[in-house]
Structure 1
Amino acid sequence: MRRLPRSFDVVIDNLSHVAAAYSDGVAARVQHEIWRRLSNIFKTEDWEVSESPSGVKISSRASDAIAYPRAELVEAALVAAARRPVTIKTQQIVPSLSAHFGETEKIAPLVELDPGQYRMDMCAAALAYDALNVGEMRFAEQAVVGGERYDRPLYHECLARLLDPDGAVVLPGTYIAALERLGLMRVFDWHVVREIFRQLEYRHDVVMGCNVSALSAVDDIWWTSAFAQLRRRPDIAKRLVIEITETAILPSVTDAMAFISAVQGVGARVAIDDFGVGHCCPNFACEANADIVKIDGSHVRNRLSNEGQLKLRNLVSLVGEFAPIVVVEGIESADDLHAAKAAGAKYFQGYYFQAPTFPDRLVNRSQTIGWEKVR
């Protein structure tokens, strides 16, 4: 990554949305709290931290030799400042933060913002972030299989499950859609990737895939430590598959292409999930050079008509032109498997082979790996 300038802006991307859904006063208090948190992080005399129109400005006052901030430090500051909701009386507001180094800020427009829906989504987001901070993240695993007997998984897709302090599972349906609508997936995905690192460190015989929102598929400061760690640990990288989910629109096709190249550049693989129903267009999937493309299971369920079976066959054929591995999801019966095989697929995933289950071997949070820490 290029050397960072002496000063940069931490932008609160959802500040105007918070003002519209709550009030200008609430937005101002959120901004002040982010300033306070960042001031505590950059609390030496080498830094000046001040509020700016859209967030916080951070400037170095150090000598030339140490005047430039390290990308790892900026990433760690963003995570530390954004991972806890801001509590204002009975309200909990989750901030969305990004770092800007002189480029034009991209503030999300206030298009058809429904204040009631926004506040409901924010409650769900705060619940998820609280679980991230005081609970635990575990993974329900489901194998992607191929071959003649389907007994050697290509990899295991790991589906993140948050546990509250009492050990109860917080169902993803209660918060994932809200996080995506609010643009708050970055911290969540940051945690997902690090928990996968933890599992791969201790489970040497498995290949794991983890879901990352399309909103996080950007080669930016948030990925600094992850890419650095994977470069240092090629044994981990070669057993990692990053699945880009398509339930949200890619912020930038150009940025997504750069992200895919960066993931592959450190030795990991990339899968495009939910192809055929998500926001991914065939042109992007073709140009992305992903290692794996997964066809959504709805196309298997729609196979009963001649048109549905033909569409499934065409999809498998199309994807096979630009992806080395094509996976058909949603295999729930022998008939589903037969239809997918008849369409030309060679890799499959679904309840017919295995329901998502927690593995016997788990790595607890107490088992901390030195190389996975952000320094």
Structure 2
Amino acid sequence: MNFDDVDSIVRTALQAMRQGRIGFSVQQVNCVNEHHEVFYSECLARLEKLDGTVITAGEFLPALEASGHAPELDCHMLNLAFEWLSNSASGPLGCNVSSSNFSSRERRTMLFDQLHRNRSLAPRLVLEITESAPIIQQFGVAEFIQDIRKLGYRIAIDDFGTGFSSPETIFSMAVDIIKIGAFFAQLSRRSEADRLLHHMVGLASCVAPTIVVEGIETYEQLTLARTAGATHVQGYLLSEPTLCPIFRGLGYPAVMDSTVRPGLKPIRFGKLSA
């Protein structure tokens, strides 16, 4: 991706935020044993282009991170999540928060103020820290995360074992949830997957009580996660998110049922295929 590409994608994404064309779909995090039990539903960013095409966060988030604009998307998505939770009795949501929010005191203050204003909804929101940079090297991050947890939010480390995630990272701070990257469940060689996933779950269990294995797409992978000792799983086998956003804010049109308020569609928490 060259500079011109990044600049174009960033301008498109920032304009879409201003115009209410970035919303979210959801993917459930399910109990590894009782598949119908939903721990929470992760908000997945979706951008609707001017021509009506919908694209996933994977197509625009890297450019935002590279240009330093990821915190603006986080702020937007958190506002949508808080708006949803304020107007819905459905279960908890999870929302990604880029580690670039921790890179300066100013950014930490802006994030904390937003979370503090909405602290009444804290028990219903999981903050998933995505590591676009090594957070262990950023001064005061562990203390800052503790301050957020004191507001009542649960903290998850996303994609543990891949990218910048490391044992040093998770042992440096108190968190509630560790999400193990899909790579470990999707290894092509079963014996290798068994060994590595057991190791990762065992390590993560030393830090957090809740261990989620991501990328579960087959029953074999589900069994692998259960055998390794994971408490929860996430993936297309049990919950397949829609491409189109189910929520873009009450001030904008969205996919909706006739029985709900304009712009608000209930998240389904019914029994899933086992």
TM-score class normalised by the smaller sequence: 0.7 to 0.9
Identity %: 32
Task: For structure 1, list consecutive stretches of 5 or more residues without a partner in the other structure.
Answer: 1-115, 369-375
CA-CA distance at 1:360 after TM superposition: 6.4
Match of 2:128 in 1: 243
More displaced stretch, 170-179 vs 149-158: 170-179
CA-CA distance at 1:340 after TM superposition: 1.1
Q: Does the CA-based 8 Å contact 1:180-1:248 persist in structure 2?
A: no
Amino acid of the residue matched to residue 213 of structure 1? S
Query: Partners in 1 of 2:199 and 2:24 — Cα distance?
Result: 33
Match of 1:270 in 2: 155
In the alignment, structure 1 residue 122 sits paired with structure 2 residue 10 = no
Larger-Rg structure: 1
Query: Partners in 2 of 1:164 and 1:360 — Cα distance?
Result: 16
SS in 2 for 1:277: coil
CA-CA distance at 1:215 after TM superposition: 0.9
The change in CA–CA distance for 1:331 and 1:264 in structure 2 (over 3 A counts) is: same
Query: Partners in 2 of 1:349 and 1:171 — Cα distance?
Result: 18
Counterpart pick for 1:227 among 111, 115, 119: 115
Match of 1:179 in 2: 64
The change in CA–CA distance for 1:181 and 1:266 in structure 2 (over 3 A counts) is: same
- Coordinate RMSD, CA, aligned: 2.3
Match of 2:194 in 1: 309
Query: Partners in 2 of 1:175 and 1:277 — Cα distance?
Result: 20
The change in CA–CA distance for 1:362 and 1:223 in structure 2 (over 3 A counts) is: closer
Write out the 4+ residue segments of structure 1 that deviate beyond 4 Å after TM superposition: 358-363
Aligned residue runs from structure 1 range 187-202, under 5 A: 187-202=72-87
Q: What CA deviation, in whole Å up to 9, does each residue of 1:98-146 have, x standing for no partner?
A: xxxxxxxxxxxxxxxxxx9223211111111111112422211111011
SS in 2 for 1:145: strand
Counterpart pick for 1:365 among 232, 251, 256: 251
Match of 1:208 in 2: 93
Query: Partners in 2 of 1:359 and 1:168 — Cα distance?
Result: 11
**How high is the TM-score relative to the length of structure 1?**
0.62
Q: What CA deviation, in whole Å up to 9, does each residue of 1:39-68 have, x standing for no partner?
A: xxxxxxxxxxxxxxxxxxxxxxxxxxxxxx
Q: Does the CA-based 8 Å contact 1:185-1:215 persist in structure 2?
A: yes
Query: Partners in 1 of 2:55 and 2:220 — Cα distance?
Result: 33
Q: What CA deviation, in whole Å up to 9, does each residue of 1:302-337 have, x standing for no partner?
A: 162423321110111110011110000111011111
**How high is the TM-score relative to the length of structure 2?**
0.83
Q: What CA deviation, in whole Å up to 9, does each residue of 1:330-368 have, x standing for no partner?
A: 110111111111111121010110111368677522589
Counterpart pick for 1:338 among 218, 223, 240: 223
The change in CA–CA distance for 1:301 and 1:170 in structure 2 (over 3 A counts) is: closer
Task: For structure 2, list consecutive stretches of 5 or more residues without a partner in the other structure.
Answer: 253-261, 264-274
Q: Does the CA-based 8 Å contact 2:194-2:224 persist in structure 1?
A: yes
Q: Which structure would you say has the larger RCO, counting Cα contacts within 8 Å and 6 or more residues apart? A: 2
